[in-house]
Amino acid sequence: MVEVRRAQTYAGFCGGVKRAWNRAVKASQATDGPVLLSGKMIHNTPAMRELASMGVREATAADLEGETTGQTYVMRAHGEGPAAFEAARARGFNVIDATCPIVTAVQKIAVQLEEDGFQVVLFGHRDHPEARATVAYTKRGLIIESTEDARALPYYPKLASIAQTTVLQADYVDVVAALRERADVFEDRGRVCGWTLHAQDEALALAREVDAMVVVGGRDSSNTIQLVRVCETACPTFHIESPDELQAGWFAASSVVGVVAGASTREVDIQRVIAFVSALPSPVAA
């Protein structure tokens, strides 16, 4: 049989996702009507399907146009900009803020830096809801995605950097080095979340001691994509969103397989992956 080793500490729901999940589930138990989400609450399709089975789903344009008074509207873990909160409250929704507190802290830092006269630059993904929401709390904040973007910035008297909480720390360090050259006064206030950092470290350590890795997590999940990048530096790595995607042939030459998971992956999916891989014959026995 193939030996499976899983990340012991940082695999599956992080604190922010657990908190958002619990708030949405509790809201669904307290109402007969649907619980609406401001967007994809977490970037994980199986988890979103489970929420849907409890009456928790993404709000549609029709939901926002119809009668809204008293309906529950949950702001996702990635956060929403101030305009989204104002619009939801103005329409009479019962708004539940499920923004991860770490993301909220970054939003506050961005506001404070701008008040202190800094041009705020966030390193992240322009189309990621967390990056967009954080910058929406500033008047002039910018999102950059690479060191090339950093080098292309104009020169500022005061420049400060922050980071999307799930970027790869090594990438952020490179971007900061480039940003330092773009201002008289530079401040680095970036904060990759501790779960993300530890998960990346744990995944790399595991990837170095196995023959292949499975990373379970959403295809559009930023922290999962970083785990894939980290593991790929050490061994063949397979990124799946659902255990149904697993193929026995991937592990034909593997005696030991590692399993890690993104911050929005359910434990049930991790367990299914472990069960599938550990039931495979090892190459020696096959």
Given 28, 138, 196, 221, the residue binding ligand SF4 (CB under 6 A): 196
- Options 113-121, 134-142, 188-196, 227-235: segment touching ligand SF4 (CB under 6 A): 188-196
Decide whether 3 or 58 has the Cβ nearer to ligand SF4: 58
Catalytic hit among 86, 114, 115, 130: 130
In whole angstroms, how close is the CB of 78 to ligand SF4 at the nearest point?
A: 7
Question: 80 with 87: CB under 8 angstroms?
Answer: no
Given 36, 37, 56, 102, the residue binding ligand SF4 (CB under 6 A): 102
**Range 157-176, binding ligand SF4 (CB under 6 A):** 165-166
- Catalytic residue status for 241: no
Please list the residues that pair with 214 across neighbouring strands: 238, 259
Please say whether the dihedral angle defined by the alpha carbons of residues 270, 46, 266 and 230, taken in this order, is positive or negative: positive
41 touches ligand SF4 (CB under 6 A):
no
Given 103, 109, 150, 162, the residue binding ligand SF4 (CB under 6 A): 103
CA distances from 258 to 5, 146, 153 (A): 5, 30, 41
Decide whether 5 or 191 has the Cβ nearer to ligand SF4: 191
Look up residue 220 and give its DSSP letter.
Answer: T
Determine the Cα–Cα distance for residues 150 and 146; give it in Å rounded to an integer: 6
- Contact flags string 48-87 toward ligand SF4, x per CB under 6 A: -----------------------------x----------
- Options 46-54, 86-94, 100-108, 141-149: segment touching ligand SF4 (CB under 6 A): 100-108
CA distances from 15 to 10, 59, 128, 171, 221 (A): 10, 24, 20, 24, 16
In whole angstroms, how close is the CB of 249 to ligand SF4 at the nearest point?
A: 32
17 touches ligand SF4 (CB under 6 A):
yes
Determine the Cα–Cα distance for residues 157 and 148; give it in Å rounded to an integer: 20
Determine the Cα–Cα distance for residues 281 and 255; give it in Å rounded to an integer: 9
Decide whether 166 or 254 has the Cβ nearer to ligand SF4: 166
- Options 67-75, 79-87, 190-198, 276-284: segment touching ligand SF4 (CB under 6 A): 190-198
Question: 62 with 113: CB under 8 angstroms?
Answer: no
**Range 267-286, binding ligand SF4 (CB under 6 A):** none
215 touches ligand SF4 (CB under 6 A):
no
SS3 content of the chain, % helix, strand, coil (to 5): 45, 20, 40
- Burial level of 72, CB count in 10 A (0-12/13-18/19+)? buried
Determine the Cα–Cα distance for residues 51 and 235; give it in Å rounded to an integer: 34
Determine the Cα–Cα distance for residues 251 and 236; give it in Å rounded to an integer: 10
- Options 13-21, 24-32, 80-88, 252-260: segment touching ligand SF4 (CB under 6 A): 13-21
In whole angstroms, how close is the CB of 50 to ligand SF4 at the nearest point?
A: 18
* Token pair 């995605």: residue: 145
Q: Which residues bind ligand SF4 (CB under 6 A)?
A: 14-17, 77, 100, 102-103, 165-166, 193, 195-196, 223, 263
Which residues are annotated as catalytic?
130
